[in-house]
Every structure is written in C-alpha cells, then in structure tokens.
C-alpha cells in the first residue's frame, strides 16, 4: 500500500513541530535539528517539514511505497504516460536511504516516488556538510 508524501519547508522548526503535532494529535516519528517527519496511518501520510529550503511552503509531493514492486509500478506508469522521469536510483536524503525517481507535473510541481530502505544518521550522506535540500 502506498503512503502519500508531503514535504514542506519551514522557517521555524520548533513552531512547526508544535503546530503539526497538535493538528495531527501525534508527535513526529523522527525529529532532527533541521527536520521532522510524521508517519500517520489515518490518513496514511508521510508528512515532513525541514528548514533546508530556499523559501517556506510546499516543496514537493509524492508516494512512499511499501516495497520495490510498488515503486516499479509507479515508474512503469510514468514511463507509459511519457512523463519526463529522473531516476535517482539508490540515494540518501531526509535521514533515509531510499530507491527513488521523480516526475514533474505540468505546473512544475515535483512528485517523488520512493521506497525507503533504511534510516541514516545524517540528512544526506553525499552532502552531509551542505545546508541545501536534496529534494
């Protein structure tokens, strides 16, 4: 089963964590100095906030899959619809090691499709020292 994903850039992480924790009636599943993520089951969503963006607001949307087969299905759909697809393959971002690809809608909104393989202790292994978004 897929999980809807939303990533929002925020100016003040502490205020955003307090707000969304009240809104969702749940604490984040993961919190770091620059990032927080809620893994909600009702509705089934992976909602993340970070201070790594250029400006506040929705950065991207997406689907997190439970397994590699679901990710392959999403990739096949994108290819069949002749969508411009950026295949990152295995990568690290947002404190996770994942397999992912991206498509962009006609308005320019990025959609991330990914399957998380495991958590990592840094925002991005290849850019651990950089303060820019990987997404």
Q: Answer for the pair 18, 10: CB distance below 8 angstroms, yes or no.
A: no
**Beta carbons within 10 angstroms of residue 40's beta carbon:** 15
Q: Provide the mean pLDDT of the chain.
A: 87
Number of structural domains (the chain) is 1
In angstroms, how far is CA 103 from the centroid of its own chain?
A: 13
What pLDDT is stored for residue 1 in this prediction?
82
Residue 133 in domain = no
What pLDDT is stored for residue 113 in this prediction?
93
**Overall pTM surpassing 0.85 (yes/no):** no
What pLDDT is stored for residue 135 in this prediction?
52
Please tell me which residue, 95 or 85, carries the higher pLDDT value: 85
133: confidence class by pLDDT, cuts 50, 70, 90: very low
Residue 76 in domain = yes
* Residue ranges in the chain assigned as alpha helix (H): 13-24, 68-80
CATH number of the domain where residue 77 is located: 3.10.180.10
What pLDDT is stored for residue 123 in this prediction?
65
Q: Answer for the pair 3, 64: CB distance below 8 angstroms, yes or no.
A: yes
């Amino acid at each position: 089963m897929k999980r809807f994903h939303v990533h929002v850039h925020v100016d003040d992480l502490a205020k955003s964590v307090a707000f969304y924790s009240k809104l969702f009636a749940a604490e984040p599943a993961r919190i770091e100095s620059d990032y927080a993520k809620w893994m909600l089951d009702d509705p089934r969503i992976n909602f993340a906030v970070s201070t790594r963006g250029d400006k506040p607001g929705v950065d991207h949307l997406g689907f997190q899959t439970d397994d590699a087969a679901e990710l392959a299905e999403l990739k096949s759909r994108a290819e069949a619809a002749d969508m411009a697809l950026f295949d990152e393959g295995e990568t690290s971002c947002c404190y996770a090691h994942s397999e992912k690809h991206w498509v962009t809608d006609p308005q320019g909104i990025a959609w991330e499709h990914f399957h998380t393989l495991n958590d990592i202790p840094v925002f991005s292994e290849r850019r651990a020292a950089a303060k820019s978004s990987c997404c």
